[in-house]
Amino acid sequence: MPELPEVETIANGLNKRLAGDRIDSVWFGSKPEPLKSSAAVIARTPEGTRIEQVQRAGKHIVFDLAAKKKDQRQWIVHLGMTGRMLVAAPESELLPHTHLVARLKSGRELRFVDPRRFGRLEVRNSAFEGPGTEPTRISLEDFIALFRGRKTPIKGALLNQKLLHGVGNIYADESLFRAGVRPRRKAGSLTRAEYAKLHDALQEVLKEAIAAGGSSISDYVDADGEEGFFQLRHRAYGRQGKPCLVCKTPIKKIVVAGRGTHYCPKCQR
């Protein structure tokens, strides 16, 4: 599933290509699963609106739409595990599992393709900010307040979208490795110094991954169909059995909060 850096990369690419264009009409496929709002509402809300900007909120892509009446409307897309947003020429092949086609005034089409149908589409008439706090902007004090007193493993707390929205499995593992914190540690057991290291490591990892275009694991590509390359810099995730890049101890893989979790048993305490 695309995480914060991948969604940020896709949203930035879509914004460059679509900001200022207008949505003329919306077509839907026959599968109901991707629709969090009704098809009629999703079609009616974007039609005739200008795309002011495309941005990220947590793991969601948010299209800010300007209607003729100047009321605030948003079209919100969650990519799920295999969702893609493609800008295509109308004569290009319509890929299998295309669930939505928005025809644009420029003559292009914006298509939502999702083979596994875990993605979601909805519209809102009020600002969508995501379920938790934005991890790239949270202060140290607010970061500590989120986790202090919690008995759940710190890895599970990092994945809790109601606390920090956008952090997923890859970047939780990478941040914990850089901070030297074991993923099974109780979230409330960290010292202030450890919280500070984890806060810095999380922001550092996310910003590096955004700059690298995200991590291309499985199906992920950006808005231009290009793969990211932060996976080449992974120090823990996906490296089970390989020597730690710091101490040479083999990286271990365990399960925490139902997710495969990678860590160094020597460097992380």
**What is the distance between the alpha carbons of residues 5 and 2, in angstroms, rounded to a whole number?**
8
Q: Which residue has the tokens 């800010």?
A: 64
- Say if residues 226 and 213 touch (Cβ distance below 8 Å): yes
Task: Examine the domain organization and report whether 188 and 250 are in the same domain.
Answer: yes
Q: 194 with 226, same domain? A: yes
- Distance between CA 167 and CA 3 in Å, rounded? 6
First-to-last alpha carbon distance for the chain, in angstroms, is 28
Tally of domains in the chain:
2
Q: Which residues are catalytic?
A: 2-3, 59, 259
**Taking all residues of the chain, what is their mean pLDDT, rounded to a whole number?**
90
- Please give the distance of CA 113 from its chain centroid, rounded to a whole number: 16
For 198-235, what is each residue's pLDDT tens digit? 999 999 999 988 888 766 555 555 556 665 556 667 99
Tell me, yes or no, whether 135 lies in a domain: no
Q: pLDDT for 102-129, tens place per residue? A: 999 999 999 999 998 889 999 988 888 8
Do 92 and 178 reside in the same domain of the chain?
Answer: no
Pair 116, 171 in one domain: no
pLDDT digit string, tens, across residues 238-267: 999 999 999 999 999 999 999 999 999 999
Q: Name the nearest CA neighbour of 143 among 102, 175, 104.
A: 175
Residue 244: CATH number of its domain: 1.10.8.50
Is 51 inside any structural domain?
Answer: yes
Verify that 119 and 145 share a domain, yes or no. Answer: no
Instruction: Examine the domain organization and report whether 86 and 182 are in the same domain.
Output: no
Residue type, 221: V
| Same domain, residue pair 111 and 148 | no
152 and 51 fall within a common domain: no
Distances (CA, A) of 221 to 29, 71, 112: 23, 33, 13
50 strand-pairing partners = 22, 66
Residue 72 has pLDDT above 80, yes or no: no
Q: Of 61, 94, 124, which one is at a domain's C-terminal end?
A: 124
Share of the chain above pLDDT 90, in %: 67
Give the domain extent around 64. Answer: 4-124
Per-residue pLDDT reduced to its tens digit, 17-59 = 999 999 999 998 888 778 888 888 888 888 889 999 999 999 9
Arithmetic mean of pLDDT, 158-183: 95
Domain shared by 79 and 176, yes or no: no
Express as a percent the part of the chain with pLDDT over 70. Answer: 91
